[in-house]
Structure 1
Amino acid sequence: MPAPPVPVRVLAALAALTAAAAAFRHLHRLRRALDAERAARRLTDGQQHRDWEAFSIRLDAAVHAHRAVAEADQVLTDALTTHRDPEGGSHP
């Protein structure tokens, strides 16, 4: 006996169901990839913010140190010019 013919509607329904399942799986994978990208972006932004704060702190410390050295240099320059003779000698 020959196998009974499969109705075209059943094949069409199976094809539609398979296409819908494939589309759902594809969308699910895309959503997971997008979530992973968003998480990576949040981590990167957080690290950048932390690094920027650390850089700002180090820069402020360097600027303050430079100002202190400049002030000390000015004090020494003033002290040396006060105690120097116009002829190049020093006061006792």
Structure 2
Amino acid sequence: MEMITAEEVKQLIVEVRQEFQIPPYFPDASLENYIKEGYVRLMKLNPVAKLESDLDFRMLLKNYTYYAYHHKVNEWENNYASLILSWQLGSEVDIDADA
């Protein structure tokens, strides 16, 4: 499994802080840890996903980070279960292939 790069983590920290209004006094190191945890978790669910080109993956990871920030990861799993399933299934079926 390929790991998330330091540059991707930095960019996601900026996006998460802006989109979810995470205060500047909350340490980047904690957000980085949440991002890495979420990345590994999502990659286990969909090992062919590409963070740079898959907007569903990016959105799920940012939302995982936000839920982890609030210590509500179980709620994230419940709230996003159907979206995660459709994301997984979308990777199984090549929707761009000509039939």
Relative contact order, CA 8 A, sep 6+: which one is greater? 2
TM-score by length of 1: 0.25
Which is richer in helix? 1
